[in-house]
Amino acid sequence: MKKLLHPVLIIYHGNCPDGFASALAADLFFQQYENHSSEVSYYKGRHGNPPPDVTGKEVYILDFSFHRKDMELLCQQAHKVTLIDHHISAEKELHGLELEHDNLKIIFDMSQSGAILSWKFFHTSAAPKLFAHIQDNDLWQFKLDNTHRIIMAIMSYPMEFPLWTSWLDDDESLKQLSNEGIILERQTNKLIGRYKPAARMGKIAGHSIPVVNAPGTIGSDLLHQLSDGYAFAAAYEDKRDRRVWQLRSGGKKAIDVSEIAQQYGGGGHKNASGFSSEHFIIEL
């Protein structure tokens, strides 16, 4: 078996099915190397966090991008940097950076998800059926049967490479996931019915829009309902050290929410973006 000449670091969009599938595509590729287990490591990318130390490493950034100044630092430290992403806000910010660094390769394609782009980069075979459903969901297309249910099901399981590998092209597994998703879909709709009336009008970047405090797990589905008739809608969820915001737009009045998210240090797609902000414990 071949050996890796440099340690490899896979940075992927954390807590995201598209990001984790991107990392899985890389993991399946690097398994061909004898020293894979000792030389390949993984890092969950999260907007607002500084990049890790990548000195001397071969770095792959999948379904995720750092800000330009951070990318410049990575290129100075790393042996090689490859970035594969499909978020329009990142493409705008990083435009021309590849010309400034000989060890940087950037691939952007807004028509495909990070998982599909990563699979095509690392493999010559057709992308697995599971990846097709992940793209169908991430691009909010839902052209394939049962995508919504399958994604709900896989997100109820741990993000573990062996488990997700078992689902890749197994029709019975995908059918089982779809069946499990029926129950989860019903629960999600029930939660949306609970949280939707709690939305109130707020103002973000000068826009009066519906704002709701809701779990991120139902954010996309909830906000696509709330955004109807508005420029966009927003949901927030408090974590231990930050407040995480989701922005969604759709319909005739929809605007590019990636531009809104960028104002607050985040990013994403035209109709689906996010950012995080500081918040403080209230003493009563």
Q: Count structural domains, the chain.
A: 2
Q: Given the DSSP bridges, would you call strands 243-248 and 200-204 parallel, antiparallel or unpaired?
A: unpaired
Q: What is the CA radius of gyration of the chain?
A: 19
240 shares a domain with 136: no
Entry pTM: 0.91
Query: Residue 281: pLDDT above 70?
Result: no
* 99-121 residue pLDDT tens: 999 999 999 999 999 999 999 99
Of 141, 167, 183, the one marking the end of a domain is 141
108 shares a domain with 27: yes
Asked whether residue 233 is domain-assigned, the answer is: yes
Instruction: Name the percent of the chain lying above pLDDT 70.
Output: 98
Give dist(CA 212, CA 270) in Å, integer. 20
Query: Residue 284: pLDDT above 60?
Result: no
The pLDDT of residue 271 is: 93
Burial 158-179 (b: 16+ CB within 10 A, else e): ebeeeebeebbeeeebbeebbe
The pLDDT of residue 71 is: 98
12 shares a domain with 137: yes
* 160-187 residue pLDDT tens: 999 999 999 999 999 999 999 999 999 9
Asked whether residue 168 is domain-assigned, the answer is: no
- Written as one string, the DSSP assignment of 33-45 is BTTHHHHEEEEEE
Give dist(CA 135, CA 133) in Å, integer. 5
CB atoms within 10 A of CB 208: 11
* CATH number of the CATH domain containing 112: 3.40.50
Q: How confident is the model at residue 246 (pLDDT cuts 50, 70, 90)?
A: very high
* 186-209 residue pLDDT tens: 999 999 999 999 999 999 999 999
Q: How confident is the model at residue 1 (pLDDT cuts 50, 70, 90)?
A: confident
- Name the token pair of 274: 């996010």
Of 141, 162, 190, the one marking the end of a domain is 141
Residue 69's domain spans which residues? 8-141
137 shares a domain with 12: yes
Asked whether residue 176 is domain-assigned, the answer is: no
Instruction: Name the percent of the chain lying above pLDDT 90.
Output: 90
Asked whether residue 164 is domain-assigned, the answer is: no
125 shares a domain with 244: no
Asked whether residue 238 is domain-assigned, the answer is: yes
Asked whether residue 251 is domain-assigned, the answer is: yes
CB atoms within 10 A of CB 199: 20
The pLDDT of residue 49 is: 85
135 shares a domain with 25: yes
Please report which residue ranges of 40-170 form alpha helices under DSSP H.
68-77, 88-93, 114-122, 129-138, 147-154, 161-167
Query: Residue 234: pLDDT above 60?
Result: yes
Give dist(CA 10, CA 163) in Å, integer. 19
- Look at 133-147, 166-180, 238-252 and tell me which has the smallest mean pLDDT: 238-252
Asked whether residue 147 is domain-assigned, the answer is: no
122 shares a domain with 20: yes
Query: Residue 283: pLDDT above 70?
Result: no
Asked whether residue 186 is domain-assigned, the answer is: no
The pLDDT of residue 47 is: 82
| Whole-number average pLDDT of the chain | 95
205 shares a domain with 125: no
34 shares a domain with 124: yes
